[in-house]
Amino acid sequence: MSLFTKAQAVIAGGVNSPVRAFAGVGGDPVFFKSAKGAYLWSEDGRRFIDYVGSWGPMILGHAHPAVIDAVTETARQGLSFGAPCVLETELAEKICELVPSIEKLRMVSSGTEATMSAIRLARGHTNRDKIVKFEGCYHGHCDSLLIKAGSGALTLGVPSSPGVPASLAEHTITLPFNDIDAIQAAFDELGEQIACVIVEPIAGNMNMVTPVPGFHEALRELCTAAGSILIFDEVMTGFRVAKGGAQSIFGITPDLTTLGKIVGGGMPAAAFGGRASIMDSIAPDGPVYQAGTLSGNPVAMAAGLATLQLIDAPGFYESLAARTQQLVDGLADKAAAAGIPLATECEGGMFGLVFTDAESIRSFDQVVAADVKRFKKFFHGMLDEGIYLAPSAFEAGFVSAAHGDDEINATIAAADRVFAAV
């Protein structure tokens, strides 16, 4: 009996997060037992160069000695207190130092919890109900955010999952990412009712899509004019594309920011924070309720703090960005030589690969129209070569500080062989 079959008997779908099931690429998922640096080892002994990085957190590479030491030392003193600890404050101070738009924050345990809490805070602070989100941007699985677009830009949305009440759809406006005219029209009609706009500053859940010039500037201007709260969901991009997150690249100051993945250093931790005047609306200082038994867990705080201290080293991001660019350029060159259309994107330690004739990808519709069948063949070809990519055509990839010339060159050489067969 396979490991996946055994898992399916006791775990819903055989996995604890849907994309892990390989439904987007076919076949059974690989079960892993260990990781170190840029590598993963499967239960059957195969070694893979890893570009998933636990979906982003492992920016230092797997099992970095300083992070492991911090975790083990903290764990010896107790796994959870359910009470304040100094590590919470130290990590919060480091986050506020690296992301100046965050004056105060609240620690939580997952990215979904961070975005859910930020939206509740925005609604409570503004005393408004409507929120604006964008097609192709994923902000976790809370009800308000699992709403797809209606037939027109301002028509009622439709729940995209059973279990989401249809009544929530009337409060969620879903617009095309990068469409400045659509966001202007939404604010012209409903601006005084909009509590917040939530956006991935660089979308990473419809592959990797960067903003067109003026998009974030329009969001900032419209939110300010209407008294709405601009939320940058940097669960993925925070500390991944730059030390100060994507907001530091674009020069935009959001009102609230959500963080996850890297902020926990591989442990379950996330955060939401922003202007002190907004954060003061959270209980116990204000009326908006939010709580979590394991929020600020000392072991997770230790992992996150050790990680953020290491990425703050001089030249860290310049080196990481150079490695990512080296990978993307090499893959693009090999695809072109094989006559395969491939659009690439990268920023910091994050990259995207889309099989399409388009020179660049700037919308959800372009991603959906790409050659998914070719991606599936490419994915399995690379897997056979010992390269582990995200098992979906709609996910970004990640490079870590542990990826060196050997790993990058081996990946490019493997792609050269695979492109000949896809």
CB atoms within 10 A of CB 167: 8
What one-character-per-residue DSSP string does 158-185 give? EESSTTS-HHHHTTEEEE-TT-HHHHHH
- Where helices occur in 358-404 by DSSP H, the ranges are 364-368, 372-384
Strand 270-274 relative to strand 343-347, pairing: unpaired
Question: Quick check: is 138 catalytic?
Answer: yes
Question: Quick check: is 261 catalytic?
Answer: yes
Tokens 């409903």 appear where? 190
Instruction: List Cβ neighbours of 11 (8 Å cut-off, separation of 6 or more).
Output: none
Question: Quick check: is 365 catalytic?
Answer: no
Q: How far, in Å, CA of 359 to CA of 343, rounded? A: 6
Q: Which of 50, 233, 255, 371 is catalytic?
A: 233
Degrees to nearest 5, angle at CA 307 with 301 and 308? 90
Q: Which of 39, 51, 138, 388 is catalytic?
A: 138
Q: Which of 261, 317, 334, 371 is catalytic?
A: 261
Under DSSP, the state recorded for 18 is G
Both structure tokens of 70? 């911090």
Angle between helices 405-419 and 316-337 (to 10 degrees): 20
Spatial contact of 194 and 226, defined as CB atoms under 8 Å apart: yes
Which residues have a catalytic role annotated?
A: 138, 233, 261
